[in-house]
Homo-oligomer: A and B are copies of this chain.
Amino acid sequence: MPDPAGRPWPTGHPPLVDHHCHGLVREDLTRAAFESFLTESPDPAPPGTSFFDTQLGFAVRRLCPPVLDLAPHCDPDTYLARRAELGARESARRLLRAAGIAEFYVDTGLPGDLTTPQELAELSGAKAYEIVRLEHLAERTAAEAEDPDAFLAALDRRIAEAARTAVGFKSVAAYRHGLHLPPEPPGRRAVEDALHRWLPTGGARLTDPVLLRHLLWSAARTGRPLQLHTGFGDPDLRLHRADPLLLTEFVEAVRPTGCTLVLLHCYPYHRHAGCLAQVYPHVYADLGLTLGHTGARAAAVLAEFLELAPFGKLLFSTDAYGLPELYLVGARLFREAVAEVLGGWVERGLWQGSDADRVSDLIGAGNARRVYA
């Protein structure tokens, strides 16, 4: 498809590195199940409304039908019928391969029967690597540990192993407590006390702020990049407790470990994230969920990210989850947004074409390759 903005720039589409995504559901989906992946809401759309009537829903209807041999903007039922006709696997194969993504970094800590990084690699013909979700790792470890000492030893082993085998870590402390955590690492005694309370649950949902901080610090000390959920998410999260600025003291405290922090999503606090990325050398910001969910507004939101954040500090991702459609939509919206925003600046003489090429490559792939190397 031609770039809707009709810009002369860019001429090529180098492959992308999707530094933050999830697995796919394998089975065919009903309309209700499909719609549930178009929103962060756990509830059905209220009567008289549909989650297809969102920017993400409209973007799916524009960009995906042609990959399944239909006209853009076809109605949801037509699209889902064709998708069922092709089957979930063939649809996924087509959509993933049309996305132009060369590498996937997959957060494997979501519940549900989702594809593994290996399956994603096979379906897409691209490479896939793992991102280890800390809270999930701790919960799995707790299910097996008998006491705090055993738990902490097992956790250390698993984090050390993940630092060798995965490209990075991720924390969803924003969902579990909020980002208003004391910045310093908790003491051994406090961790043990918290474990005495939590371990008897057998690995129930981890929400203890002491243990969340222990996980953050354990990951940071490995020196691998640490992704942190910030901003918009489902109702488990209090949005004003997910402002990335609440991490400022932690950002400063953790700096001596040499760990890189990647602030995920950020919206509607993406300008805050851009400010942090400018003043702290180890802070980066991600565009994923924000561009996908804002659809026709992706260019506008990308432009806001490109105010204060240095161009070596922004990373493309799709944050795709469940639907192969979301990889395609995330990648296409990103390319279109870059073409519109950077192309517009080139056209008006504000940026040089070769600079726009370079910045586009940095955000689309180069920054991720350097940060997660």
Contacts and interface: CB of A to CB of B under 8 A. Distances in A.
Nearest to A73: B352
Contact of A53 (B5, B45, B307, B312): B312
A312 B267 CA distance: 21
A34 interface: no
Interface stretch (A166-174, A190-198, A213-221, A290-298): A290-298
A232 B275 contact: yes
- Copy number in the complex reads 3
Contact of A281 (B46, B282, B295): B46
B40 A311 contact: no
Contacts of A240: 243, 245-246, 248, 272
A44 interface: yes
Given A51-B310, A297-B307, A303-B297, A275 B243 contact: no
A349 B352 CA distance: 27
A5 B359 CA distance: 22
Contacts of A11: none
How many A residues are at the interface, by size bracket?
Answer: 35 or more
A49 B46 CA distance: 47
A147 to B, nearest CB: 36
A48 interface: yes
Interface of A: 4-5, 39-41, 43-46, 48-51, 53-55, 58, 62, 72-73, 232, 234-235, 238-240, 243, 245-246, 248-249, 252, 267-268, 271-272, 274-276, 278-282, 293-297, 300-301, 303-304, 306-308, 310-313, 345, 348-352, 355, 359, 362, 370
